[in-house]
Amino acid sequence: MHTLFDSIIDSYLEHKVGIVENFLNPSLSNHLKDNLNLLYIQNQLLDAGTGNDIEVNHDKKIRSDKIFWLDRIHQNKYENDFFDLMDRFIIYLNQTCYTGITGYEFHYALYEKGSFYKKHVDQFRNNKKRVYSMIMYLNSDWQIGDGGELCIYNEDDCQHISPTQGKSVFFKSDELEHEVLLANKPRMSITGWLKVD
């Protein structure tokens, strides 16, 4: 497991964007995808907005995905397995990079066909607790042409990242503008933030 953690950290230190394949193993990815699909069928997903509780906006011209917040209180085995993985990663990150991360928040994200999220940064103007952004993809059969790539802007360049199953992306929440390009088929992920108090 530490090899995966080292890989994403090394990638981040070299490129400002950490990327590693198989951060989520196939079994966990599939179970989490099944959870997300069931929540969608049960109409449990909410329209995503921008901003936070103090200032929230639901403009579908900016963001049109649907979300469901993960929480250990759900007592879902696979979500708790995911949280156990994140706990191990944060301990390792704090021990090796002295980041001081004290918590996190994650949600499922479903982009239906035709959905997108325009260019933005992840840190709120009125709250600086988000330090690192992390995305883990749940798309087992993603093909070129399916759309939904993550586009991360670094100066004038845009790095396109395909949302293939198990892949994780890691970057500073206040540094890099990014967007989710138009999805041509349903696109699933777990997205969240490593935080400080």
Task: Select the more confidently predicted residue: 188 or 52.
Answer: 188
Per residue in 138-167, pLDDT (tens digit) is 999 899 999 999 999 987 788 999 999 999
Torsion from C-alpha of 137, 143, 149, 155, nearest 10 degrees: 120
Decide if pLDDT at 137 tops 90: yes
Per residue in 19-59, pLDDT (tens digit) is 999 999 999 999 999 999 999 999 999 988 766 655 666 66
CATH number at 135 reads 2.60.120.620
CA distance 140 to 163: 9
Predicted local distance difference test score (pLDDT) of residue 59:
64
Residue numbers of the domain that contains 126: 2-195
Please provide the average confidence, as pLDDT, over all residues in the chain.
Answer: 91
Instruction: Give the residue from 9, 68, 6, 20 showing the smallest Cα distance to 167.
Output: 20
Per residue in 60-113, pLDDT (tens digit) is 678 899 999 999 999 999 999 999 999 999 999 999 999 999 999 999 999 999
Predicted local distance difference test score (pLDDT) of residue 126:
58
Kindly state the percentage of the chain with pLDDT values over 70: 92
State the total domains in the chain: 1
Range with lowest mean pLDDT among 26-30, 83-87, 116-120, 122-126: 122-126
Predicted local distance difference test score (pLDDT) of residue 56:
64
Predicted local distance difference test score (pLDDT) of residue 91:
97
**How many C-beta atoms surround the C-beta of residue 106 within 10 A?**
21
- Which contiguous run of DSSP H or E holds residue 119? strand 117-120
Predicted local distance difference test score (pLDDT) of residue 74:
95
Q: How confident is the model at residue 128 (pLDDT cuts 50, 70, 90)?
A: confident
CA distance 176 to 123: 10
**CA angle, residues 161, 9, 78, in degrees to nearest 5:** 75
Decide if pLDDT at 190 tops 80: yes
Predicted local distance difference test score (pLDDT) of residue 162:
96
CA distance 12 to 32: 25
